[in-house]
């Protein structure tokens, strides 16, 4: 143990990756965690419980766990906190730093209290010759997330932000971060304000020194959601052709207002996930459905269940469709989309069998209202 201590004392102000090389939740990229050595020894982030022994082994290759002074949890999901129970068994004096939500998650995961301290936005931790600053970045991708900045190394520990999957940073963003665009955008601004020289993301390639390239990539990726031309996803299921006929007239009306419309017939679509992705990328949604046995057809159920709530919330929409006699499918679809926090353009429009001129007129008025709402957003 004496030799271990001498080795630790010789490793002043180093940053060492003590994570696991293969992400246990898929994606191929490493799950990174860090050891900052110095007069005080600090861990940043953890790994899942099933990899706790590997984590301890990685720490022990550089320093005895009983020499760890504190751990900073930039994110406190079970994927990151699972190793804490074993770590605290070895060293009960470790102090745990996290956001308010992070400490709550940690204690609810472990089911016991920890020696914790809340990290506030702009707060600092002076630990020997290590000086850290904390910047809260909620909802990237959990409410508890935060950035940790090492002044000595001019290094920023970014968690999910700027992480990469096996395919690269853009693919990781697409799979994980595009659901949280406003929060990611705010976090990237904080990174630019901090102006670190090196990034230590939570997954994939690290350290990363191409900071301008990464921030520029994110700027381009979330700028794609705010193009001048507004987009609507028009998805419909039609059994007798009546709902499809009205869908065509709605598309023509929207396009006459300068709205780009992407139309899908759900009854013959081979990838509902692709349709859901298109809906999430669009600015508004129009959904048409018939009623089958007093409910929606399975393809409409599957489409709705594939939608990401975070990306659909707040988007204007309306639902329409033909019925034989009862029309429950239309009203079910409308009710579910409302619960997902989309914004009504009007109550569900249901018509019996072939649409009348009055039915078509109502559908076109709904399309007009949707176009108006998109225009309001564009000029806001």
At 374, which CATH number? 3.40.50.360
pLDDT score at 23:
57
pLDDT score at 199:
96
Over residues 330-358, the mean pLDDT reads: 93
- pTM, two decimals, is 0.72
Are 30 and 159 part of one and the same domain? yes
Answer for the pair 242, 355: CB distance below 8 angstroms, yes or no: yes
Which residues lie across from 231 on neighbouring strands?
260
pLDDT score at 64:
96
Among 225, 234, 239, smallest CA distance to 311 is for 225
Q: Answer whether residue 378 shows pLDDT above 60.
A: no
Domain stops at, among 199, 225, 251? 225
Over residues 219-246, the mean pLDDT reads: 86
pLDDT score at 6:
37
Over residues 245-268, the mean pLDDT reads: 94
pLDDT score at 225:
62
Are 209 and 246 part of one and the same domain? no
Over residues 260-272, the mean pLDDT reads: 91
Total structural domains within the chain? 2
Are 38 and 155 part of one and the same domain? yes
Are 170 and 197 part of one and the same domain? yes
Are 345 and 244 part of one and the same domain? yes
Domain stops at, among 157, 190, 225? 225
Q: For the chain, what percent of residues have pLDDT higher than 70?
A: 92
Are 206 and 292 part of one and the same domain? no
Domain stops at, among 225, 255, 284? 225
pLDDT score at 4:
35
Write down the H helix ranges in the chain.
2-10, 52-60, 78-81, 84-90, 100-110, 169-172, 181-194, 211-223, 242-256, 272-281, 298-305, 309-312, 328-339, 357-379
Answer for the pair 172, 203: CB distance below 8 angstroms, yes or no: yes
Q: For the chain, what percent of residues have pLDDT higher than 90?
A: 72
| pLDDT tens-digit map of 26-64 | 544 689 999 999 999 999 999 999 999 999 999 999 999
Are 143 and 264 part of one and the same domain? no
- Give the confidence band of 5 by pLDDT, cuts at 50, 70, 90: very low
Q: Answer whether residue 258 shows pLDDT above 60.
A: yes
Q: Answer whether residue 22 shows pLDDT above 90.
A: no
Helix or strand (DSSP H, E) at 155: strand 155-159
DSSP state letters, 306-329:
TS-HHHHTT-EEEEEEEESS--HH
CA dihedral (320, 321, 323, 328) positive or negative: negative
pLDDT score at 167:
66
∠356-357-363 over CA atoms, to 5°?
A: 90
Q: Answer whether residue 24 shows pLDDT above 60.
A: no
Over residues 362-370, the mean pLDDT reads: 95
∠37-39-42 over CA atoms, to 5°?
A: 40
Are 202 and 305 part of one and the same domain? no
pLDDT score at 273:
87
pLDDT score at 179:
81
Over residues 236-248, the mean pLDDT reads: 94
Over residues 291-301, the mean pLDDT reads: 91
Are 163 and 241 part of one and the same domain? no
Give the mean pLDDT of the chain: 89
DSSP state letters, 280-308:
HHSSEEEEE---BTTB--HHHHHHHHTS-
Answer for the pair 130, 35: CB distance below 8 angstroms, yes or no: no
185 three-state secondary structure: helix
Q: Which domain holds residue 114?
A: 2-225
Cis peptide upstream of residue 207 (ω within 30 degrees of 0): yes
Are 252 and 137 part of one and the same domain? no
Are 92 and 6 part of one and the same domain? yes
pLDDT score at 3:
34
Are 232 and 206 part of one and the same domain? no
Q: Answer whether residue 213 shows pLDDT above 70.
A: yes
Q: The CATH number of the domain where 95 resides is what? A: 3.60.15.10
Helical pair 328-339 and 298-305, crossing angle rounded to 10 deg: 0
Q: Residue 105, Cβ neighbours under 10 Å: how many?
A: 22
pLDDT score at 175:
83
pLDDT score at 323:
87
242 three-state secondary structure: helix
| pLDDT tens-digit map of 117-138 | 999 999 999 998 999 999 999 9
């Amino acid at each position: 143990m004496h030799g271990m201590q001498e080795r630790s004392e010789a490793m002043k102000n180093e940053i060492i990756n003590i994570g696991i090389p293969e992400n246990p939740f898929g994606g191929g990229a490493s799950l990174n965690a860090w050891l900052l050595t110095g007069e005080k020894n600090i861990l940043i982030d953890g790994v899942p419980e099933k990899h706790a022994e590997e984590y301890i082994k990685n720490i022990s290759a550089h320093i005895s766990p009983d020499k760890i002074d504190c751990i900073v949890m930039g994110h406190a999901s079970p994927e990151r906190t699972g190793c804490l129970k074993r770590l605290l068994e070895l060293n009960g004096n470790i102090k745990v730093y996290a956001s308010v939500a992070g400490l709550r998650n940690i204690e609810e995961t472990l089911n016991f209290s920890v020696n914790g301290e809340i990290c506030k936005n702009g707060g600092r931790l002076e630990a020997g010759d290590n000086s850290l600053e904390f910047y809260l970045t909620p909802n990237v991708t959990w409410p508890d997330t935060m950035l940790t900045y090492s002044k000595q190394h001019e290094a920023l520990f970014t968690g999910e932000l700027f992480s990469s999957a096996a395919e690269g940073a853009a693919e990781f963003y697409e799979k994980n971060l595009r659901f949280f665009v406003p929060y990611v955008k705010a976090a990237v601004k904080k990174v630019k304000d901090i102006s670190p020289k090196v990034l230590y993301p939570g997954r994939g390639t690290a350290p990363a020194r191409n900071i301008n390239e990464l921030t520029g990539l994110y700027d381009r990726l979330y700028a794609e959601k705010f193009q001048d031309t507004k987009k609507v996803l028009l998805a419909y299921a039609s059994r007798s052709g009546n709902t499809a006929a009205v869908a065509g007239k709605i598309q023509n009306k929207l396009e006459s207002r300068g709205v780009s419309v992407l139309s899908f017939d759900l009854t013959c679509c081979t990838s509902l996930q692709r349709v859901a992705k298109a809906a999430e990328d669009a600015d508004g949604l129009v959904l048409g459905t018939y009623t089958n046995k007093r409910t929606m057809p399975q393809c409409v159920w599957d489409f709705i269940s594939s939608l990401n709530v975070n990306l659909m919330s707040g988007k204007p929409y309306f639902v329409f469709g033909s019925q034989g006699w009862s029309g429950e499918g239309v009203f079910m679809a409308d009710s579910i989309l409302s619960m997902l926090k989309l914004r009504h353009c009007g109550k569900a429009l249901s018509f019996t069998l072939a649409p009348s001129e009055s039915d078509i007129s109502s559908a076109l008025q709904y399309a007009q209202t949707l176009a108006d709402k998109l225009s309001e957003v564009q000029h806001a």
